[in-house]
Amino acid sequence: MPTVARALHGLPLYALAFGGALAAGVVAMVVSGGWSDAKGPAAPTWTGVAAFCAGLVIAGSAPTMWLLVVGRVTQGFGGGLITVALYVVVGRAYPSHLHARVFSAFAAAWVVPSVAGPTLAGLIVERAGWRWVFLGIVLLTAPAVLLVRRGLRAPAEPDGDRHAEGGRAGGDEPRGRTARMVWAVGAAVSLGLLYVGGQQRGPGALVLIAVALAGLVGFAPRLLPRGTFAARPGLPSIVLLRGLAGAAFIQADVFLPLLLSRERGFSPASAGLTLTIGGVSWFLGSWYHGSRYHGSRYNRSRYRDRRGEPLAPTRHLRTGLVLIAAGIVTAAACVAPAVPVVVCVVGWTFAGFGMGLSYPAMAGLTLRLSPPAEQGANSSALQLSDSLFSTTVLAVGGTLFAAWVSSSPRTAYLSGFAIAEALALLGVLVAGRAGVPTPAAEAAPPVLAGQRTEG
């Protein structure tokens, strides 16, 4: 992107190229959730792929930075449609005891590109030009989507079962869908302002950030299950935990390579190696979770879904958050010059493993606790929580860092790590509330904001 901004003389739009895609993805996640619940995941998946590829083509052929931003927004919208729809595909095409393994495979699907992608993109920019970073992905997307055709044809449970589950998806009511779209657009605009404000300096930046945070406080809670911020047991706690874990990890993950390169003298490649190690250990944690909790192992759990079927014990969630918190502490310790860097690297390996343990568990629990008619809406809420929490925390942490880095670099780094540690420790407390014990298995499912209840 720095190369693109220089080539198109569009440095002032640099932040918008990222924030616009992220904001469009928020709206698309809400659209995809209701669409998948009402019509199945096939249509949003194919539409998402088409929008994703169209955005890549627009960006790859853009003669100006504004047009590249349009392409990035289109690409982000398509990506948001796809990610939620694929969760619904998993819920409908695979038996519940295999969900953990499937989500472990999801981890591998993004870890491998994240490890090799930056280096490969750099080589493409040097050898063929930056436009082929966008256009080349189009050539890979078409054959990739063909692999999921069979899963897209997987039928939903019969309508009778859906009503028996008390389907209250927001997509079932036209007024509810319209309201959620308004809230999603409001949250997306706030998210974009937050991203742009975080890149600015001076009073104007503070105004943008304040307006953005006010918008997020007003709109974002309406897109999540009721009781999310109160950590109500079951789905609301899982959605909250996803936001806490993702924000804690990404906050530290952003500052760690900067600390190693600026304060410890590491080269960019060496500092970035810590991110690679964290990504690989994330995959290993996901693999461990998927291989351990399947088949008969579920039967030992006292936690049950709303149909009374056993759930994987939630202790993996708590263990994962404890490992994340420990990894953040070791990363923060490296602010002190006397602490060997190897301590930081080992600690961050445990943090990545903790993310690998917790993320597939949260995804699987969300599907298991959701009736078929609400899998799209609840999967959307799970990923919205991740995106909204992470972006908000990064903007706040970046603002504090920018304010202190010139006068007291150590305070600047510690402020970022302190925010991440607080979120991780809060996640440890919330993790114990993510399961639904057997006596509550027949309780009514959480109701999303704006949904109508009966009786």
CATH number (domain holding residue 412): 1.20.1250.20
Q: Please give the DSSP secondary-structure letter assigned to residue 202.
A: S
Residue 26 pLDDT more than 80?
A: yes
Residue 51 pLDDT more than 80?
A: yes
Residue at 449 is within a domain: no
Q: Cite the DSSP H helix spans in 12-129.
A: 14-39, 42-60, 65-93, 99-127
Residue 326 pLDDT more than 90?
A: yes
Q: How far apart are CA 37 and CA 23, in angstroms?
A: 22
φ, ψ of residue 448 in degrees (nearest 5): -70, 150
Residue at 385 is within a domain: yes
Q: Is 407 helix (H, G, I), strand (E, B) or coil?
A: coil
Residue 308: CB partners within 8 Å, gap ≥ 6?
Answer: 438, 441, 442
Residue at 451 is within a domain: no
Output the pLDDT for position 161. 39
Residue 37: CB partners within 8 Å, gap ≥ 6?
Answer: 88, 167, 169, 171, 172, 373, 374, 375, 376, 377
The arithmetic mean of pLDDT across residues 212-223, rounded, is 91
- Percent of the chain predicted with pLDDT > 90: 36
Two tokens, residue 164: 């028996």
How does residue 415 score in pLDDT terms, banded at 50, 70 and 90?
very high
Output the pLDDT for position 308. 53
Residue at 455 is within a domain: no
Biggest alpha carbon–alpha carbon distance for the chain: 65
Give residue-wise pLDDT tens across range 117-171: 767 777 888 888 889 989 999 988 878 888 877 767 755 543 333 333 333 434 4
Give residue-wise pLDDT tens across range 63-93: 999 999 999 999 999 999 999 999 988 888 8
Residue 295 pLDDT more than 60?
A: no
Note the Cα 419 to chain centre separation in Å. 18
Lowest mean pLDDT among 77-81, 243-247, 285-289: 285-289
| Burial class for 179, CB neighbours closer than 10 Å (0-12, 13-18, 19+) | middle
Output the pLDDT for position 197. 76
Residue at 453 is within a domain: no
Domain that holds residue 142: 2-440
Residue at 157 is within a domain: yes
Residue at 23 is within a domain: yes
Give residue-wise pLDDT tens across range 157-174: 433 333 333 334 344 456
Residue at 27 is within a domain: yes
Lowest mean pLDDT among 58-67, 349-358, 394-403: 394-403
Two tokens, residue 32: 């995809």
Number of domains composing the chain: 1
Among 421, 5, 418, 446, residue whose Cα is nearest residue 199: 5
The arithmetic mean of pLDDT across residues 390-397, rounded, is 84
Output the pLDDT for position 397. 85
* pLDDT: which is higher, 158 or 224: 224
pTM of structure = 0.81
Q: Within 13 A of 344's CA, how many CA atoms are on the CB side?
A: 24
